Chain A
Amino acid sequence: MAAVAIIGVMVAIARSTTGNPEAQATVTTVGYRLRRGWLWALAACAVAAFAVSLPNFPYARPSALEGRHYPVIAFQYGFEMPKTIPLNQPVVFDVTSKDVNHGFGIYAPDGKLFAQVQAMPDYVNHLALTFKVPGHYLVRCLEYCGIAHYAMQGAFDVR
């Protein structure tokens, strides 16, 4: 939608060249005033977007790490992980890798990408989640890890 709006405005500007030309000085006087408005509008959008995004950052605060922990070990090409995860309870995946960088991408039963975190050797990434929808969740690798990357999968059930 934003793309259509941008293209629309830019095409309109391009089409303005078919009409009566105006001196550059005339155009810039108005243009610079417009630019100031555009700057403030963009700045307002950026501040608002940052403010809205901030509480939704996925990095677990220490208090959120109190849920039950489940180890996840990624390897070329699969995941060692529990088969079932409890419903409506805070859980923490402790995600690491045996060999190279992998991604731990959780796909909900409806096929949407629900959550993800990188699986990295020598490090443990804590992914705190609460599952509110029961069902079969698919795990896909979301970091290129070698030639069977596309086939690297896991799964668990939420009950």
Chain B
Amino acid sequence: MSDNVVSRRVMWAYILTGLAVFALMFVLGVFMRAEQAAWITFDAGLFYSIMTLHGAGMIVAMALCGMGGLWYIMDREQPMNPGIAWGAFAAMVIGALCVVVAALVGHFAAGWTFLYPLPFVGATWAPWATGAFLVGIALVVVGWAAYCTQLLGCVLSKYGGLRGATGWDLVFHHDAFVASGRPEPPPQAFAALVVAVDGLFAVAGGMPAGIASLAHFVDPSVAIDPLWIKNLTYEFGHTFANLTIYMAIAYVYVALPRYANREWHTSPVLAIAWWGTLLFVATAYFHHLYMDFAQPNGLQYVGEIASYLAAFPPAVVTIFGGALLVYRSKMRWSLASIFLYAGLVGWLVGGVGALLDATVPINVSLHNTLWVPAHFHTYLLQGVFLFVLGWVFAMLEARSAIVTPLVVRWIAGLGIFGGAALLLLGWYVAGSQGVPRRYAIQPAPGPEISSWATIGALILAVGLLVTLAEALRLARAVREVRA
């Protein structure tokens, strides 16, 4: 019982911190859109400091939101040392604070990608801000590495090493495996395995890039190959960002069946799908370098093939499985189940946008246009974030025994889905018109579209506030139930 209290505390610390960071970054995001819509004006330096902070902060926010629950879920399978989880949490939070200070106090504005040699050449900010940013990112990576290592240890020791955790015998010696009576890893354990392994793979790319950058910071005579570090930057950035959704999918695996009154069990197909994810999440990042013609040609083909293949496991197994789970079930629709289910839709829609952009000839006219933020906001805001909200409400609903009234559900739903649709559509439309991303002042038709998008963001904000109020009401009821 007391262990359960400890692991809940770990989970809520991660998730609530993640949501708080999300809220701050959301507000900054609305300011950026309003500035692009010319509703308000601030100077480009501030815009780009905010952009840098928003990008780095949102990814850390989504990561924290996923890490907490996945830790809690896997801790129930096999207890883990909470000390390590707290250490990882502390490193990431301190790292995030360094980034905040670097951006807001130090005016660091090299983008979350801080593509070498940008942080050092033509900088409009103090060198200490570059240092603070690099140290901040390094701390985030250290925390993440510790978390992934612990998670990997948990999965491997519980299910009998890599062979057990990957479901090897389940796939290749199916009858013998079933006869042996050994428990198969539940779906969320596959998510944990892939997050841990690919997470460490991301670290393996991010660490050399970070160390090289810090070395150059200390001694500018240290020269870095710009193409080499660009590869590593995206290997880390893409993989880390992409894994946020593979963490949050554990919430769907665990919570959605409760609402559908059905079971989501492991099948050989599910195991194979996760092997695919393991491989393709790690190799898809080459699509960030399509417009680097100096990149060896073979890698461009790898990028397109891996990006396509990465879509198969979610489309054919997880999202399809989720739809099948819900189809003609005795579904209890509540805020939690609506969010979880809608997240699957957002993931699919964002995936289509991503696939188009991952096709090299199409990338020529979409690369670094607003199409890019369009698709990743789709699966962060309407995928990862909804899975997190779904999980939070699943916990609150189970313990408060309150079902949100239909009216509130409609207001929250219309605000969140409607507002987000308008916000996202702005990026898709502008991107397809070739409006570049990361422009403090956009060429036409950017500003006009940004106006609509800002309205969408404000509607979304109303939906989020209603949802927050409802969450607080449920949380209060939980406390009363306990008292």
B-chain residues with CB within 8 Å of residue A50 when the two chains form the complex:
304-305, 308
Check B352 against A116 for contact (C-beta < 8 Å): no
- Which residues of A sit under 8 angstroms from B263, Cβ to Cβ? 24
Q: Are B330's CB and A21's CB within 8 A?
A: yes
Q: Which of A34-77 contact B (CB under 8 A)?
A: 35, 38-39, 42-43, 46, 49-50, 53, 56-60, 76
Q: Mark B107-149, 1 if CB is under 8 A from A, else 0.
A: 0011101010110011110000000000000000000000000
Within the complex, the shortest CB–CB distance from A34 to chain B, in Å, comes to 8
Given contacts A21-B329, A59-B297, A121-B117, contact A13 B323 (CB under 8 A): yes
A32 to chain B, nearest CB (A): 8
- Residue in contact with B361 in the complex, picked from A19, A21, A58, A116, CB distance below 8 Å: A58
Residue of B nearest to A55 (CB): B361
Q: Are A150 and B328 in contact (CB under 8 A)?
A: no
Contact B326 A59 (CB under 8 A): no
Q: Give the total of A residues in contact with B, Cβ under 8 Å.
A: 67
Do B124 and A146 touch across chains, with their CB atoms under 8 A apart? yes
A154 shortest CB reach to chain B, Å: 14
CB distance from B162 to the nearest CB of A (A): 26
For A126, give the chain B residue with the smallest CB separation. B293
User: Closest chain A residue to B431 by CB distance?
Assistant: A113
Contact A142 B328, CB 8 Å, known A49-B308, A58-B361, A122-B225: no
- Within 8 Å of chain B (Cβ to Cβ): is A124? yes
For B436, list chain A residues within 8 Å (CB): 105, 140-142, 150
Stretch at the interface among B180-188, B206-214, B439-447: B439-447
Q: A124 contacts which chain B residues (CB < 8 A)? A: 294
Q: Is residue B24 within 8 Å, beta carbon to beta carbon, of the partner chain? A: no
What residues of A have a CB within 8 angstroms of the CB of B328 in the complex? 16-17, 19-22, 27
Given contacts A3-B352, A57-B300, A140-B443, contact A146 B291 (CB under 8 A): no
| A contact residues around B330 at 8 Å (CB) | 17, 21
What residues of B have a CB within 8 angstroms of the CB of A116 in the complex? 291, 364-365, 367-368
Bound complex: CA of A142 vs CA of B431, how far in Å? 12
Contact residues in B for A143 (Cβ distance below 8 Å): 115, 368
Distance A154 CA – B122 CA, assembled complex (angstroms):
19
Chain B residues, Cβ within 8 Å of A2? 349, 352
Q: Does B405 contact A (CB under 8 A)?
A: no
- Inter-chain CA distance A107–B230, complex, in Å, is 25
Q: Is B242 an interface residue (CB 8 A)?
A: no
Pair A13/B326 contact, Cβ less than 8 Å: yes
In the complex, are the beta carbons of B293 and A117 less than 8 A apart?
Answer: yes
Given contacts A113-B434, A116-B291, contact A145 B305 (CB under 8 A): no
Please give me the residue from chain B that is nearest to A77 by CB atom: B122
Interchain nearest-CB distance for B279 vs A (Å) = 15
Given A57-B361, A121-B226, A140-B443, the answer on whether A76 and B291 have CB atoms closer than 8 Å is: no
A39 contacts B316, CB within 8 Å?
Answer: yes
Tell me, yes or no, whether B202 is within 8 Å of chain A by CB.
no
- Measured between beta carbons, the chain B residues less than 8 angstroms from A60 are 293
B101 at the interface (CB under 8 A from A): no
Bound CA–CA A6/B341 (angstroms): 13
* Contact pattern, B 351-390, Cβ under 8 Å of A = 1, otherwise 0: 0100000011110110111000000000000000000000
Query: Would you mind naming 6 contact pairs between A and B with Cβ atoms under 8 Å apart?
Result: A105-B368, A111-B433, A115-B364, A124-B294, A144-B118, A150-B441
**Known contacts A116-B291, A151-B441; can you find 18 more A-B pairs with CB under 8 A?**
A16-B326, A21-B330, A31-B320, A31-B327, A43-B312, A49-B359, A59-B293, A99-B117, A100-B117, A116-B365, A118-B292, A121-B226, A124-B294, A146-B124, A149-B48, A149-B440, A150-B44, A150-B436
Task: Give A contacts to B, CB under 8 Å.
Answer: 2-3, 6-7, 9-10, 13-14, 16-17, 19-22, 24, 27-28, 31, 35, 38-39, 42-43, 46, 49-50, 53, 56-60, 76, 99-101, 103, 105, 107, 111-118, 120-127, 140-151
